Amino acid sequence: MEPCSLACLGAVLGSIVLAAGTEARWATFSQPGWQSGQKPGEDTQISVILALRQRNLAFLEERAQRVSDPSSPEYGQYLSHSEVSALAGPSEEAVMVVKDFLDGASGGHYRFSKAHDFAIFYCSITCTERLFSTTLLLQHGPQSPPVSRIRAATPISLPISVSSVLDGISLNAPILMPRRPKPFVLTPFLYPASGRLAPRIDPLLVAGDGFLMLRFVAYCANGEVNRDRLEQGVCSSSGERPTRIVSFEILVVQEPSVQKVVSMPAVPLVLGQRAGNCGQQVGCVEFNATLGSILNYMTTRVVIRAFFNDGSVTDFSNPTEVRPVWPLPYTTPDFLSRHYNMPLNMPVQHPRNAISVAEFLGQYYNPADLETFFRVMGIQSWPQTAQPWTLGPDVPQTGSVLGGEAQLDLQYIMAMAANVSTWFWSVPGKELATTQEPFLQWLFEVADHNETTAPLVHSVSYIDDEESVPVWFQRRVDVEFMKLALRGVSVLVASGDDGASGYRIRHGNTQFCNRARPGFPASSPWVTSVGGTQLSNVASPVCGYTSDSMVVNCREEGEVACSSDRGGLITTGGGFSNTFPMPWYQREAVGKYLRQADSPLPAAEDPWQFNRSGRAYPDISAVANNYLIWMGDGLESTAGTSASTPLIAAMVAHWNELRLQRGEPQLGFLNPLLYTLAKAHPDAFNDVIIGDNRCGISECCERGFGAARGWDATTGIGSPKFDKVTELLRLRVPSAGVASLSSCMAATPRPAPWPVWMGAVILAGVTTMGCAFVVKTRRRGNAGTHALHKGLLERT
């Protein structure tokens, strides 16, 4: 509907109020896992974000394509904040309609974003219910610690003049949450008090880099659990004439072809001990052992038996009593630096080179932990950038957690991009108590920062199943990302940790294995979606080959799709959007995947459906598991595409640095460049060809997507070889430069098309030297900008 002119406004506003409640975007809030609870207090203040409908979006989208396409003459010619606002912003009439509507509320206040594309309205529950003709209830979700939000429990009704100038409002918007697995906690296992002879191993083994830890209790000859400590003699108090246990034998089986037998005398020198949990009033003793020299990467199982002093021996324990584990190296900044050939402690310097991590829901970080992490990991820092600049709160709030998410994001971004200016963009902002929709709120805040202040890269680790996010919300968020692409901002989004079937299969809900469930915002065509890999020594099919006469063991380690059934703890998200069609930059790469035979896709008639025409993700990947982070009083290991995302963000900061130092624009929206590079220079990426994403965090489904040569729906184009990609970016030369050095000197900082370089790297390499030098001497300082940049930020 055309926005109404001013003349007709009064007429519409004065006329009958038409219910807009039948449209999906005005529907009652509903989201799997969330239930309505009680009524919030009438005087509770809440905020409502109104997303105004914008203009010229098709035109802007075309423009966004050109400024991010390396083969376009307009590549890198980003628009300013005010240019985007002027083009996309709603009409004055639309703004008037919303103003009049909000002025009609019985109380409250509101403000618009600079571009008038969002409004935020604050009022009491009663006032809000009346204005939006709905009923508000508290909603309780699967969040830990519990968070409740206020949402519309009946459809929203608005005058048609108002609903027609809005995309939607936050009262029924989805609640996006971090999807990280809970930290690994060793809960005491309840051992049977009697009825067996073989020792019992706690099913939860701990596996690390080349070692295993196990805990077990022993059973005596009479079938009772052992209550004696090692110094007393194991089983020395069992019965009249006790038979004591003198040693244990542990057999470690690592598939396919490694066995290791460890004999452990029952003495305090080799075993640890503490009180075990064998039921009430049974004071059993639990032993623990650490086994070293274990091979990494292999599926590892453990059994144990006991030797008595009369020469008798028990059976081995049942191998199925213990979950298999996969010993793996730990991921540290040093490891990542070696694995990806990324410089550590090489400071980025350009004052515009800033990165932001978005954190929602009261996640906060601890500055002391960050310092300790740097010290423990041998990372250098510089006073100006040693701590992030905080937007919004970073203080323990009621209901907030010392954020594993926030700590992970910050520790790795700041370690891998030394001296980068980091924004800790924490939402909800000042209005913690009332902010109901952190994601829209974040977009509102991001939209209000212009190019003098805005970070060039955003790292976002929040996701939900696309199907539980209303379509209007997805489209609006996608448009905001497109506007950021126009402005030359890179948005990196984690592809999710629940494989192809999504979050809902968690907790044994394998009925949701019935089809692919893409995740949002990973499925937005205007973000770079980052998947997860893990290291393996079976990174190509031949490595796992076994036959009657041969076992092929590979020594080299490589990346495979991260999956919980190979010890990855999470499974890389990936798939095809049901909302967004496949964008231009990936059609060729994804088309090949749809036709390949390495890992054939479920047939069209297979009941497990996925959308062949949808936006396919992830775009790129990196190692996502076994990250060591400093949490409070020690190191913890964690996994997630929320680890690989900040890592890629740090790489982008280095790449942006290279360009900014030469007076060139930053990389902006990355995907067209990434797919172009992967096609022209496949050797600049680690192509991941083993693994799949049919599992989730613990459950596995039958179907998922498989890794394959080239792009695939588990790891995208693979992980970047940082040094190779850097070299390609360094060799890039303005097409003018190829012609002659003088035209090179005259070249503006605006970049020229890239295809010349794509084909003629050697020629370009020679010419670039001159160009790079010339451009460098032309570089202008930006100190003033930087001061402004800092002055605007608040520290809490």
Ligand X SMILES: *[C@@H]1O[C@H](CO)[C@@H](O)[C@H](O)[C@H]1NC(C)=O
Is 184 a residue that touches ligand X (CB under 6 A)? no
Nearer Cβ to ligand X (59/382): 382
Give the range of 379-387, 425-433, 515-523, 699-707 binding ligand X by CB under 6 A.
379-387
Examine the residue annotation and report whether 642 is marked as an active-site residue of this protein: yes
Give least dist CB 589 to ligand X, A: 17
**Sole binder of ligand X in the list 257, 613, 742, 796 (CB under 6 A):** 613
Alpha carbon 732 to chain centroid, angstroms: 30
CA distance 248 to 251: 10
> 514: how many CB neighbours lie within 10 A of its CB?
14
User: Which residue has tokens 């409002």?
Assistant: 169
Structure tokens, 377:
């990991």
Q: Which of residues 748-787 bind ligand X (CB under 6 A)?
A: none
Nearest residue to ligand X, scored by beta-carbon proximity: 272
Kindly give the residue spans of alpha helices, DSSP state H, lying in 417-567.
Answer: 438-447, 471-486
Give the range of 171-179, 246-254, 321-329, 611-619 binding ligand X by CB under 6 A.
611-619
Give least dist CB 414 to ligand X, A: 12
Give least dist CB 3 to ligand X, A: 26
Contact 579, 475 (CB under 8 A): yes
**Sole binder of ligand X in the list 91, 134, 400, 421 (CB under 6 A):** 421
User: Which residue has tokens 């394959």?
Assistant: 708
Nearer Cβ to ligand X (287/335): 287
Exposure of 183 by Cβ count < 10 A (0-12 exposed, 13-18 middle, 19+ buried)?
Answer: exposed
Nearer Cβ to ligand X (56/345): 345
Which residue out of 409, 478, 619, 664 is catalytically annotated?
409
3-state secondary structure of 4: coil
3-state secondary structure of 480: helix
Size of the chain in residues: 796
Q: Which of residues 672-711 bind ligand X (CB under 6 A)?
A: none
Contact 527, 636 (CB under 8 A): no
Contact 328, 536 (CB under 8 A): no
Structure tokens, 330:
């730990």
Is 737 a residue that touches ligand X (CB under 6 A)? no
Nearer Cβ to ligand X (106/349): 349
Give least dist CB 218 to ligand X, A: 15
3-state secondary structure 704-728: CCECCCCCECCCECCEECHHHHHHH
Binding mask 342-371 for ligand X (x = CB under 6 A): -----x-x-x--------------------
Is 614 a residue that touches ligand X (CB under 6 A)? yes
Give least dist CB 382 to ligand X, A: 5
Nearer Cβ to ligand X (526/757): 526
Cβ-based neighbours of 240, under 8 Å, separated by 6 or more: none
Alpha carbon 325 to chain centroid, angstroms: 24
Exposure of 203 by Cβ count < 10 A (0-12 exposed, 13-18 middle, 19+ buried)?
Answer: exposed
Examine the residue annotation and report whether 405 is marked as an active-site residue of this protein: yes
Give least dist CB 352 to ligand X, A: 9
**Sole binder of ligand X in the list 226, 254, 381, 385 (CB under 6 A):** 385
Binding mask 266-295 for ligand X (x = CB under 6 A): -----xx---------------xxx-----
Question: Residue 537 phi/psi, 5° resolution?
Answer: -100, 15
Is 113 a residue that touches ligand X (CB under 6 A)? no
Nearer Cβ to ligand X (351/404): 351
Query: DSSP readout, 218-243?
Result: -B-TTSBBP---TTT-BTTTSSSSPP
Is 611 a residue that touches ligand X (CB under 6 A)? yes
Nearest residue to 442 (alpha-carbon basis) of 476, 408, 404: 476
Which residue out of 405, 437, 466, 664 is catalytically annotated?
405
Contact 623, 339 (CB under 8 A): yes
Q: Determine the longest span between alpha carbons in the chain, in angstroms.
A: 104
Examine the residue annotation and report whether 598 is marked as an active-site residue of this protein: no
CA distance 775 to 33: 55
Structure tokens, 459:
């790292």
DSSP state letter for 55: S
Binding mask 53-72 for ligand X (x = CB under 6 A): --------------------
**Sole binder of ligand X in the list 170, 419, 435, 534 (CB under 6 A):** 419
Give least dist CB 384 to ligand X, A: 6
Structure tokens, 371:
């310092």
Give least dist CB 92 to ligand X, A: 20
Give least dist CB 349 to ligand X, A: 4
Nearer Cβ to ligand X (154/288): 288
**Sole binder of ligand X in the list 450, 510, 743, 782 (CB under 6 A):** 450
Give catalytic residues, as residue numbers: 405, 409, 642
What is the contact surface with ligand X in residues (CB under 6 A)? 82, 271-272, 288-290, 347, 349, 351, 382, 384-385, 419, 421, 450, 452-453, 578, 581, 611, 613-614
